[in-house]
Structure 1
Amino acid sequence: MKLCRSLCILAVVAAFAVSSYAQAAAATALKVQEQKLASKLMAREMPYRVLLPAGYETAKAERYPVIYLLHGLYGHYTNWTDKTKVAEYAAKYRFIIVTPEGADGWYIDSPLASHENYESYIVKELIPEIDAKFRTKADRNDRVIAGLSMGGYGALKFGLKYPEMFTLIGSFSGAFGTSQFTEKAAGDIGKTVDVVFGPVGSKTRLDNDVYELFLGTSQADLRTLPFIYLSCGTEDFLFESSRQFDGLLRIRNVPHEYRELPGVHDWVFWDDQVREFLAVADRHLAARKK
């Protein structure tokens, strides 16, 4: 009887401890803010979410680095805050985090669809909006972009196309082979590429191919690239493309970090990676200030 009573007490204590920890984590998580931008390039209102660092409202003179997180195919701007604990992980850092809407647009300006200009929207409208609306450090050395799958491709492409805008880029399970994706070869994923990019061999495909962009960068210009963080699960169907891109970076001696980890193409992996990447970003930004 005493043993039973003791076990019951221990169970209650353990349950209370878990509950208290969950409540504490929720209490320290950053508040998610819904925002909208009246986009001329997209000819509609574009939603996005913002996480402001703790103390933002009171530290009126302080300015902050910004991290843009891009979602994947079939996803939306809400995914990062709904499907990961990024609001909790970010609470100990001094970042502003922005999660834009990218729909299934592959973060390019599509020649095939009117007002589907996701690349120009992010570069020419969203980033200036964030810098004007919030107390950001509005310069290349304090701006970071990362994403998963389609968003990992998008982040890498933005870094290669606009190295003057970003100090660090992160790609988790990046979908890099867009120039060869077709409905016939890659099913529904390839179909979205056909719809957005046009046929294989088109100028749009070549202009937005991360392999072409990287190999077309001169050795001198490689020194201007942002630091690159790549990761992929070893059981992910996109694993080989991440390993291949790591190989290209090594051959050309481009500073980067590459991680192969157990995992598949899912939110368990991306939740872990966004947590890791925030720490990478914090170290990278701190190192640049020394």
Structure 2
Amino acid sequence: MKVEIEKSIAIIVLIFAALNIYAQDTLVIRSKYLKQPDTVLVYKPRHSTSDRKFPVVYLLHGYSEHYMQWSSIINLQQLADQYGFAIVTPEGFATFYLNSPVDPSSQYEDFFYEELVPKIHQLIPVDDKNIFISGLSMGGFGALYHFIRHTDYYNTAAATSGALHIDPDKFLEYSFAFWKNDRLRRDAEKVFGDPKIYDWSSYKIIKLIKEYPDFNRAFLIDCGIEDPLYPLTEDLKKYCEVMNIPVTFMQAPGRHDGNYWHSSIEYHFVYFKQHLRKE
């Protein structure tokens, strides 16, 4: 029994090491805005000169996952080397990457810009003209939410399989579709509040864009056509077309899973590379 336990521990250690082997830095940030420390993986391109400034991509994970989700889907060090970007994957918990109106210990947007961003700029020589953000599912929502609200900080953004329509009934539907229970609906209420009191629809990406009438920035959205969230991406695409917002829309066969995101995220890096600013 002791040998079996020791083998199990060794396997867990090896798996954790394999997921993080190429991350040059792991940050643990104790935040005054969050109830628990936030862990962040940072990947920098290898074989670069010491005086070079890096474009940066923040990659946000999905609901029920964690800061290592992206590194379990694709080789982030390889992406950093291939495209020349530094990649940052923070822990987002189940915060939807925003400041909760009901939980003072879940103020993620404040954490992001008051604590995480300064840490990254201290750690990495950042090319301030070329900062990007992307994510999957909950992280796709978070990426566009941050991009729309903080356009001065970002060059552009992208979302894959984004949970772009914040709605209690839809969240209950998705929760049973993915987990056969109401966990997503219950966790979302901890963030957004009781829907009988708080208006969840105010967080919808389309409604958020309407609150910023001067918003006309290019970004990318994509989703697998077998994904239950596909109609949300298509609705955002149609709205942007009507409003003459320069959105790039991509679709492909795929579900709401790692196989689809393994392929889709490379297109985000190609898109970001095409949008690099020289001046």
Relative to the length of structure 1, the TM-score reads: 0.81
In 2, distance between residues paired with 1:216 and 1:30?
41
- SS of corresponding position for 2:249: strand
Alignment of structure 1 residues 272-287 onto 2, 5 Å: 272-285=263-276
2:211 is equivalent to residue 216 of structure 1: yes
In 2, distance between residues paired with 1:173 and 1:90?
22
CA contact (8 A) 1:105 1:116 kept: yes
In 2, distance between residues paired with 1:115 and 1:184?
24
The equivalent position to 2:82 in structure 1, one of 87, 92, 95, is 92
- SS of corresponding position for 2:88: strand
Displacement of 1:184 in angstroms is 5.0
Q: Counterpart of 2:30?
A: 38
Counting aligned pairs with the same residue, the percent is 27
In 1, distance between residues paired with 2:71 and 2:24?
8
- SS of corresponding position for 2:274: helix
CA contact (8 A) 1:148 1:174 kept: yes
2:60 is equivalent to residue 70 of structure 1: yes
The equivalent position to 2:186 in structure 1, one of 173, 185, 191, is 191
Displacement of 1:36 in angstroms is 1.5
Q: Counterpart of 2:138?
A: 150
- Cα deviation, 1:67-110, whole Å, max 9, x if unaligned, reads 00000000000111122223223321221100000011111111
- SS of corresponding position for 1:194: helix
- SS of corresponding position for 2:273: helix
2:222 is equivalent to residue 231 of structure 1: yes
In 2, distance between residues paired with 1:81 and 1:162?
26
Larger radius of gyration: 1
Q: Counterpart of 2:147?
A: 159
CA contact (8 A) 1:75 1:103 kept: yes
Number of aligned residues: 253
2:260 is equivalent to residue 269 of structure 1: yes
- Cα deviation, 1:115-163, whole Å, max 9, x if unaligned, reads 11111111221112101221112x2x31100000000000011111111
Any stretches of 5+ residues in structure 2 without a counterpart?
1-17, 175-181
In 1, distance between residues paired with 2:63 and 2:166?
12
- Cα deviation, 1:28-72, whole Å, max 9, x if unaligned, reads x9545322122222254311000011124xx22111111000000
Relative to the length of structure 2, the TM-score reads: 0.84
- SS of corresponding position for 2:96: coil
RMSD of the TM alignment (CA)?
Answer: 2.1
In 2, distance between residues paired with 1:105 and 1:207?
16
